[in-house]
Amino acid sequence: MTTELQQPAAGLASLEARLSEDLSLLELPPKEWVPATEHDGKRVYDAVIIGAGMCGLVAAASLKMLGMHNILCLDRAPEGREGPWITYARMETLRSPKQLTGPALGLPSLTFRAWYVAQFGADAWDALGKIPKGQWMDYLVWYRKVLSLPVRNLVTVTSMIPVNDDLVALDMADEASGKSEVIHARHVVLATGRDGLGGGFVPEFVKRVDSRYWAHSADDIDFAALKGKRVAVVGAGASGMDNAATALEAGAAAVDMIIRRKVMPRVNKFTGISSQGVVQGFAGLSDEWKWKFLDYVLGAQTPPPRDSTLRVSRHPNGRFFLGTGVTGLHANEGKVIVETARGDLDYDFVIFATGFNVDLEMRPELKHFAPFIRFWKDSFAAEEGMENGELATSPYLGPDFEFLEKTPGSCPSLRLVHCFNYPASLSHGKLSGDIPAVSNGGRRLARGIARSLFVADRETHFANLMAYETPELLGDEWTDSAAMLDDLRKGAAE
């Protein structure tokens, strides 16, 4: 018997009809059940999601699939450019295997595979290696459309202010209208990506050098301007390789990878134990074991993808300098000098692929909440030899990705803000930043918000319970024979 995936491409219209039928069979999305609320005569959203990239869309879809429709996604990017996929992600293809179901929420007809096969056919799917990043963006645009997810683009949240213990005000700047606006939410989800609680990290000595000489790998870099230039890339992770390759392909005269380690990491440790056990069980570990797992993974480091590395090494003017730690940076006569343990190296431009860090001072929208947020360094002391600054500055989250107070009672509304981005990894595992388990993360988040909203509205729900009077029985379904029995007994007695 031939399966549908082996048939010629039927087109997106057919797939969308199938998805609609699947949702209908599952009675999804269910009806709205959260009572409408207002503040100062204006609508209050049950949840506002900051960010409409992959994690933001999954968060919105998960909430909708549990009957929470009064939600809104906000994104500062234009429609179709949300997230990193066609901006600072400079790889050619995704790093994840193509068969991962990612944001599909358990719905076969919502998977990338279904979307791809519907347009290009099963043979094309079989021939596909990894997913081109542009097609992944196209898929997410389709995902947003077919699930009718409410997104406002070109909107930047400039401030979040606690109104009371149960309400948050969000100040927004709308680029399209040029106006500011305030909306209110009962819950706020930060689906803000890798830099969601800070920004790109570079050593302090770099910041003292004019920015025309350097950039972070996540910056908007004019690669065309690097044609004929000598470029250094500091760091040998995936983004380092992708930036180096992009510079080479743009015609850079030479690109040197400056790598602190003497040996490149070759094994992706977490991939080796990937399973539903890790996905579902990581949050149940003790703090000691969570730390132990991630400290080991960070220590081993994640190797760059083979394809990304070959993309650099196939260029004769792409070089790898291992065991060459960077100790300083300075400009001199139009050049930028990279100071290393092996001596000074001069370039025209340097790209720092040095990752991201948590730094709430870089997130003005969180300034009213930042002083109260509990981090792992506030709750956990690592064993000697396992100290890790990156882990120590991770937010210490509750079971629903919610921030917890550093001092109990200091900011009760903090529990309304959920950290559904990469820094949540130490508390929950990799459920809110990578493709493999993002659906699990979205459902965990949505269940927590649903529970919180129902508990908060318990008086209304109980009043609705008492007021409900629609009968199941109309009273004509039976005859009361008790009176007949009484008459018979009376006659027998006489």
Dump pLDDT digits (tens) for 342-381.
999 999 999 999 999 999 999 999 999 999 999 999 999 9
Give the model's pLDDT for residue 185: 98
Q: Let me know if residue 122 belongs to a domain.
A: no
Q: Let me know if residue 449 belongs to a domain.
A: yes
Q: Are residues 443 and 321 in the same domain?
A: no
Tokens 């930042």 sit at which residue? 370
Q: Are residues 310 and 326 in the same domain?
A: yes
Q: Are residues 50 and 181 in the same domain?
A: yes
Among residues 294, 325, 354, the one where a domain terminates is 354
Q: Are residues 189 and 231 in the same domain?
A: no
Give me the number of domains the chain comprises. 2
Q: Let me know if residue 241 belongs to a domain.
A: yes
Rounded Cα distance, 486 and 494, in Å: 13
Rounded Cα distance, 250 and 223, in Å: 6
Q: Which residues contact 371 (CB under 8 A, 6 or more apart)?
A: 406
Dump pLDDT digits (tens) for 284-299.
999 999 999 999 999 9
End-to-end CA distance of the chain: 79
Q: Which long-range contacts (CB under 8 A, 24 or more apart) does 363-369 make?
A: 363/197, 363/198, 364/158, 364/159, 365/50, 365/157, 365/158, 365/159, 365/160, 366/160, 366/197, 367/159, 368/159, 368/160, 368/161, 368/162, 369/160, 369/162, 369/403, 369/411, 369/414, 369/417
Q: Let me know if residue 476 belongs to a domain.
A: no
CATH code, 394: 3.50.50.60
Strands in 167-174's sheet, in edge-to-edge order, are: 38-39, 42-45, 179-185, 167-174, 155-164
For residue 484, the surrounding DSSP H or E stretch is helix 482-493
Secondary structure (DSSP) of 430-445 = SSSSSSTTHHHHHHHH
Query: Cα–Cα–Cα angle for 192, 196, 200, nearest 5°?
Result: 125
Using the 8-state DSSP alphabet, how is residue 86 labeled? Answer: T
Q: Let me know if residue 481 belongs to a domain.
A: no
Rg (CA), the chain: 28
Structure tokens at 153: 């683009």
Give the model's pLDDT for residue 274: 86
Helices 54-64, 438-456: axis angle to 10 degrees equals 50
Nearest residue to 411 via CA among 37, 161, 49, 47: 161
Among residues 354, 389, 415, the one where a domain terminates is 354
Q: Let me know if residue 239 belongs to a domain.
A: yes
Longest dimension (CA), the chain: 126
For residue 292, the surrounding DSSP H or E stretch is helix 287-300
Q: Are residues 37 and 177 in the same domain?
A: yes
Q: Are residues 369 and 422 in the same domain?
A: yes
Mean pLDDT by 10 residues, the chain (494 residues): 44 96 98 97 97 98 98 97 94 94 98 97 97 97 98 98 97 94 98 94 96 97 98 96 98 98 91 90 97 93 93 97 97 96 96 96 96 97 93 97 97 98 96 95 98 98 96 90 79 72
Q: Let me know if residue 472 belongs to a domain.
A: no
Q: Are residues 222 and 262 in the same domain?
A: yes
Q: Are residues 158 and 207 in the same domain?
A: no
Give the model's pLDDT for residue 482: 82
Q: Are residues 170 and 311 in the same domain?
A: no
Q: Residue 187's domain spans which residues? A: 31-96+131-197+358-456
Q: Let me know if residue 298 belongs to a domain.
A: no
**CA dihedral sign, ordered 203, 233, 85, 76:** positive
Rounded Cα distance, 438 and 426, in Å: 15
Q: Are residues 325 and 411 in the same domain?
A: no
Q: Are residues 450 and 417 in the same domain?
A: yes
Q: Are residues 370 and 236 in the same domain?
A: no
Give the model's pLDDT for residue 402: 98
